[in-house]
Chain A
């Protein structure tokens, strides 16, 4: 109760401060008379002290969904429908988009990034549900650059703290193979090239598994390996008619893009198959090459587990034996002679028996990189004195400065002559 106040009507001192909406009033609690009231409007001088609050800093922005966010959410739903994803995926992707949008870095980002964010949310949802969707597909649908996509994707995963599982190779094989247009005859696909979907799928899966075991998949983009495996599977099912068809023609017939590294993967896969064939008794006598081995892919895949295990074991054993021999020779010529003499093959000194090329990871087969000699131990402490003569080499002499200025002026003049205003 404020001191020294009397109600003009009843003379009571029981005055209370009670505001009527936003207007403060002093009211007598006995008779209800309004003694004084506050000012509703602001004066000119008061308004001079007011500070404008931008929309991005006001709380209104957090309450409302901006037009840009609404557009983004619509794009997320459209993308899910185009990819024919289940409705639960749509809800999850929308939730991720909304979560990402709450971060200021995303809210203030360019439209290009927000567009790409749509694809990132859908991709993360698909990965978490083991739905095989590649980044290439998403970028193609959004007409986005893969560099921008990768940057946004890594940023979002870090921002939202998500655990995104890796792409499942088997599911990707099934989806990718199903997109090949080779399962029905058409004007562009002759009958001899048409293949049964299930047979081709199972053989492709086996070839991709083989590629995975033999170090052709790790660290590489999965799609070229799958394309190469599909091609080999298709050729091997009817080699008589299909050996003459090249990888590029095959992709054209199937109406699928040919990824650039697919030809290298194909050669690598064929080398692996050739090395496996060298260990099968009935194929050793045939002296196979990269074309003829395709006819025996069925046999090789049937025995692949044993062949690969055996080949790796033999390969590492041969390498170790070779290293030991080399070490033995380096230690002393006598010891080396003994070792060579004791070998059961009685070959002239210095020759090893011809053995099939070991089946090893590609990195082990390549010649080892030139090992840089270790740098000499540096005695630099960082606090040495620096003499003037050392610094002079980094400064131009006055003559050089004059020449440089002359050259610049001449270049400027030449430019203005060639580009008249």
Chain B
């Protein structure tokens, strides 16, 4: 594929993972009792809370650290995280929304061609790792962008990266391979 070819790639962001802190101790038992749509995992010491809009799942620890997953954009992740912090405020905790950070972005893309994985691995030796006995895809790591790509023989590519723009850059550079 040439760099000048004008085939547009549809990149779909399927998951954004973010973290934030509430700077206060959270009583998990109280959240489990008074919150709706919660699952209390006593053995591991966390509460799972699901929001409907935006559709995200939050993992809440008693230390005040919260991880939100399931959002389809960074803005949506922030909105969902703020909504969650607001719900905890309503429950009576002295929540301060701080240290918000997007930790991971997962995107999916389909190439319009098939890929012969053994040849691909041979030509991209240090970055690509292919173990057909373990996983049907090649794991390609771009160190500069800190991205991991899973390339399947059907042409489907899954990217996990730190932020959205780098996701698109890494997919663009993978198309050139």
Contact = CB atoms under 8 A, between A and B. Distances in A.
Contact of A221 (B35, B49, B76, B133): B133
A245 to B, nearest CB: 28
B130 interface: yes
Give the bracket for the number of chain B residues in contact with chain A: 35 or more
Nearest to B33: A401
Given A219-B137, A382-B74, A363 B154 contact: yes
B133 A382 contact: no
Interface string A380-392: 1111101010111
A198 B21 CA distance: 68
B76 A378 contact: yes
Contacts of A219: 117, 132, 136-137, 152-154
Contact of B78 (A163, A383, A392): A383
A215 B152 CA distance: 12
A358 B79 CA distance: 50
A386 B83 CA distance: 7
B36 A396 contact: yes
A393 interface: yes
Interface string B78-121: 11001100110011000000000000000000000011111001
Contacts of A388: 90
A388 B89 CA distance: 11
A384 B79 contact: yes
Contacts of A154: 129
B146 interface: no
A361 interface: yes
Contact of B114 (A146, A363, A390): A363
Contacts of A374: 10, 12
Contacts of B35: 394-396
B83 A391 contact: yes
A372 B72 CA distance: 14
Contact of A378 (B34, B75, B118): B75
Nearest to B152: A219
Contacts of B117: 218-219
A380 B132 contact: no
A394 B51 contact: yes
B23 interface: no
Given A375-B72, A390-B83, A391-B87, A382 B36 contact: no
A243 B129 CA distance: 40
Contact of A382 (B82, B91, B122, B152): B82
A215 to B, nearest CB: 7
Contacts of B126: 163
B177 interface: no
A20 to B, nearest CB: 57
Nearest to A384: B79
A150 interface: yes
A344 interface: no
Given A221-B132, A395-B87, A401-B34, A382 B125 contact: no
B59 to A, nearest CB: 15
B51 to A, nearest CB: 7
Given A382-B82, A391-B83, A166 B121 contact: yes
Contacts of A166: 118, 121-122, 130
A414 B6 CA distance: 68
A31 B52 CA distance: 94
Contacts of B53: 390
A364 B90 CA distance: 53
A32 interface: no
Interface in B137-153: 137, 152-153
Nearest to B78: A382
Contact of B36 (A167, A384, A394): A394
A380 B77 CA distance: 10
B10, B77, B115, B133: which has the most chain A beta carbons within 10 Å?
A: B133
B64 to A, nearest CB: 18
B62 interface: no
B83 A136 contact: no
Nearest to A134: B133
Contacts of B121: 166
Nearest to B136: A219
B119 to A, nearest CB: 9
A392 B136 CA distance: 46
A405 interface: yes
Interface in A387-418: 388, 390-396, 400-401, 404-405
B44 interface: no
21 contacts: A135-B134, A150-B134, A153-B134, A166-B122, A166-B130, A215-B153, A218-B116, A218-B118, A219-B154, A361-B153, A374-B10, A375-B12, A375-B72, A380-B76, A382-B75, A382-B79, A386-B82, A394-B35, A394-B51, A395-B91, A400-B36
Interface of B: 10, 12, 33-37, 49, 51-54, 72-79, 82-83, 86-87, 90-91, 114-118, 121-122, 125-126, 129-134, 136-137, 152-155
Q: 6 closest pairs, A vs B, by CB?
A: A382-B78, A219-B153, A219-B136, A382-B75, A363-B154, A218-B153
Given A374-B12, A404-B33, 14 more contacts: A134-B133, A153-B131, A157-B129, A166-B118, A215-B116, A219-B153, A380-B79, A382-B75, A382-B82, A384-B79, A391-B90, A395-B36, A396-B34, A401-B33
